[in-house]
Amino acid sequence: MQTLLHVGRNELTHDEREVVKRAQRGDVAAFESLYHAHASMVLALCRRMTGDNQAARELVQDVFVRAWERLASFRGQSAFGTWLHRLAVNVVLERLRSDKRRPLATIDEVSLIPTRHEAGASSDARMDIETALSRLPHGSRQIYLLYDVYGYSHDEIAAMLGISAATARVQLWRARRAMLKVLGS
């Protein structure tokens, strides 16, 4: 099985283009190679957006099932990882919108300052970014990640989440302020 190296560019490498073409023709081994090359990136994205390891693992499977179903629509105008990233964001957002068990909270509804008990024995210990992200409410975490980490514009985020661009800006500002407060404590 051929292994792919993830390239930080927006175009396909020759090897990746060939593997994608084989997968588009139904070659399961080629698709498996794409899976192995990109699964960790998709898992990290899903984990960051949901804050839940189990849900993230389930979503990875959903993303790759959707990728297999829609592989014919991939035209190669960008790297496969870029296309897959966008697909993964959409799958996660769909799941979160349809998940009636957990309403999205805004940053104002949740206290992000750790209690002395939560801070643990060492007052010098600092929270890492992953922990700080996990303390953000889902809606704020999504906006923070989509804008600051993955580079989507406010208009793109607004369209993905079904909110106004102004709401996205306000939530990003609040999320950044909360992250600074948590990381600075």
Residue that is written with structure tokens 């369209």 in the block: 159
Residue 183, C-beta contacts closer than 8 angstroms, at least 6 positions apart:
126, 127, 129, 132
Least confident of 17-21, 62-66, 147-151: 147-151
Note the pLDDT tens digit of each residue in 15-32: 888 999 999 999 999 999
pLDDT, the chain, mean: 77
Q: Domains along the chain?
A: 9-102 (1.10.1740.10), 104-185 (1.10.10.10)
Residue 67, C-beta contacts closer than 8 angstroms, at least 6 positions apart:
34, 84, 87
Report DSSP letters for 43-57, one per residue.
HHHHHHHH--HHHHH
Residue 155 pLDDT grade (very low, low, confident, very high; cuts 50, 70, 90): confident
Q: Which pair of tokens denotes residue 133?
A: 């992200």
* Contact of 4 with 33, CB cutoff 8 Å: yes
Question: Is this prediction's pTM over 0.85?
Answer: no
Q: Which pair of tokens denotes residue 20?
A: 């994608």
Note the pLDDT tens digit of each residue in 71-121: 999 988 888 998 999 899 989 888 877 765 444 444 443 334 343 334 443
Model confidence at 52: pLDDT above 80: yes
